[in-house]
Structure 1
Amino acid sequence: MPSTVLHVAFALLLAAGLLGSDFDRRAAAVVAAATVFPDLDVFVALVVESAHRAAFHTLLLPGTLATLLWWDARRPESWLRGRYDDYGVRVAWVALAGYVVAGVGLDLFTALGANPLYPLYDQFVEIGGRAGYSTADGLYQTFVNVTFESAPAPDGSAGNATGGGGGAPSVDVGQQGSTEEVHVASGVDPQRGSDAGAERVFPVVYRGWHVTLILAGVAATWWRLRDADD
């Protein structure tokens, strides 16, 4: 699973590219804080069972913040622009991008995924699959699978499940189950129920590409901050 270090490195890489000359130490701190926030639901899981990757990984929260930010930025007397000028508005939008893309997005593509519509719709989703072109099958993708169950035959048999015969569609986007069925382990809450004697793991990197992304984020941040100090 992505570590908090990886989340922040990815977010700072995005911020360095999106903010350009506006990327400074304060902007880096705001973006990093917004990106770390989703992972703080590991502490909520100590009170609410299996709330990790659900409580603060829900897209309903940044969606609400984005609506408020959009509303405030359009007002003639914008509170955010009045305090921090256009710089503050840009940093706020990039911080939200860090929250959604680096904070929640990376987790959606890892084991057990995240619960993006919690608590409105309690379902962990793990987005995984492949996409490409094959000389045998043409363009293909396996991220979203749609199947149709045909209506029962007149004799009461189930019919052909792969046919389109008017049956209800079934969409598979990597559903894993609800918070009652899925528990995403963390160093703070390693297992459901009592944690006595459980191993606590606080990862930094699990894959080689994690190292590449972390180094890229560190390099981009250093380069931009160096320019800001000049």
Structure 2
Amino acid sequence: MDCVPRISRAQVFDALSSMANIAGYRAVVEAAHHFGRFFTGQITAAGKVPPAKVLVIGGGVAGLSAIGTARGMGAIVRGFDTREAVREQIQSLGGEFLTINIKEEGEGAGGYAKEMSKEFLQAEMDLFSKQCKEVDIIISTALIPGKRAPRLITEDMIRSMRPGSVVVDLAAEAGGNIETTKPGECYTKHGVVHIGYVDLPSSHDKVEPKVMICLFFIIAISFHLEFIR
């Protein structure tokens, strides 16, 4: 199902995007559960609670779903993607689009992200190093089709995060964007909760089967119509 081409005619068959949408939503729910603090800011008689700051790496379907969900819960959300075309989509959801000084187009074949130059990657790492010291939650979704997921967050960056912070690596199954991710596990290291689940869509067991059934039904109908022509 992940071999469906990214063209207009094939959008209705795109199971990968449907599952990524669920994964992005669930990533925020898991992060909120383990964070243990309000996402939205609160003013109480005992004082002011600042809103959570969330960094979402990757502006694909999962990343945009995570940005929209986190903003809906009241968090301050920052997003980054190598593709300039994603800027408008992130901003339309209320997120801040982060940039670096090096101009390089990150869109490859089919609209997916491609591998970047060493200079771009270094500037990107410098940006993430700074952001790790400021944000409470990181959700990484960066993938390159057919290759290992790019390593974007190092262990030193994790050490620089505040105790109680949460990182969710949606690329865990492909090797992970975060150096300290353990695929399929949730654990704490350097005071930071690491979530590396590889089956987040299946956690919504009342939604995922319905989505898949609808997709297979549409495929069956489409092949039938093509056959009788």
Question: What TM-score bracket applies, with the shorter chain setting the length?
Answer: under 0.3
Larger radius of gyration: 1
| Length-normalised TM-score, structure 1 | 0.28
The higher-RCO structure (CA 8 Å, 6+ apart) is 1
| Length-normalised TM-score, structure 2 | 0.28
